[in-house]
Amino acid sequence: MIIARRFLVRGRVQRVGFRYFAEEMARIEGINGFVRNLPDGRVEVLGEGDAESVVRFERAIRRGPTGAHVDDVETESLEPAGLVTFRIKG
C-alpha cells in the first residue's frame, strides 16, 4: 500500500547536510517526494511510497545525519499524489 507523509523537522537541521541525507535515505528506500529548508529553521520533508519503506524513512529522518540534532518531528498523513522522484527544493 502506498502512503504519503509530511514531516516538519525541528532542531539543528540546517547547514548540517540534512537535505542530502534525506535524499540519500529516500533513494535507498524508494521514496518519492521532496525536502526543503524553511525560513524558520525547520526542514520540511514529504515522502511517498510503500508503507514499510515510509516507516523506515521516518526513522532515518528522526535520527538525521551526523552533526544534526533533531528535537521534534511533526508528522501529517496525506493522500498519495503519485510522485515519481525525490528532489531537494530550494
pLDDT one-digit tens code per residue, 11-56: 999 999 999 999 999 999 999 999 999 999 999 999 999 999 999 9
Catalytic residue among 12, 36, 37, 56: 37
The pLDDT value recorded for residue 27 is 98
Q: What are the tens digits of pLDDT across the range 62-75?
A: 999 999 999 999 99
Q: Say if residues 4 and 57 touch (Cβ distance below 8 Å).
A: no
Q: Give the DSSP per-residue string, 4-47.
A: EEEEEEEEE-SSSSHHHHHHHHHHHHT-EEEEEE-TTS-EEEEE
**Sign of the C-alpha dihedral, residues 11, 40, 34, 58?**
positive
Structural domain harbouring 80: 2-88
The pLDDT value recorded for residue 90 is 79
The one-character DSSP state at 67 is T
Active site residue 37: yes
Compute the radius of gyration of the chain from its Cα atoms.
12
Active site residue 62: no
**CATH number, domain at 15?**
3.30.70.100
